[in-house]
Structure 1
């Protein structure tokens, strides 16, 4: 891939990974040639299901969340730094960050048991862990 100052393009080979699928909506702006070019690169195009307008909205929400919580608050120095920040954010997003649709649990971590004992509530010992130089904060109960 060609990279210019005005149009930086990241080749997945540079990241040490390979894309197998591209999920896209059924918009007419993606002609058949688009799918053929991706097929030549070994990438299978999977259009979203018919009459599922929310399918694209879910991914747009995820991208917006990543941008708002991470990229808008971080000065990215280079490609390596971007990949590190995105991997760290993905770890935070899937193992720690509460999700409203999961009743405040994280996708890869069940919700901890509620503390109902008034004595324990008064003596909460909360620890904060900073990630990405303090851009993201994670809180937990100290043992």
Structure 2
């Protein structure tokens, strides 16, 4: 049910790999980065950059300030 809500908002659901202990901390940092944004128009223009790690097996995302 939540996948369809996110899809309606234009958000792509990406499943993460199992047994990736760093994934939770990475996502927590990303969510905390997005929380201070109060302007709804600014959300559409987030500059999120992806860094491939371990030869592209793991991806890290950061909000470019």
Compute the TM-score of the two structures, normalised by the length of structure 2.
0.50
Compute the TM-score of the two structures, normalised by the length of structure 1.
0.26
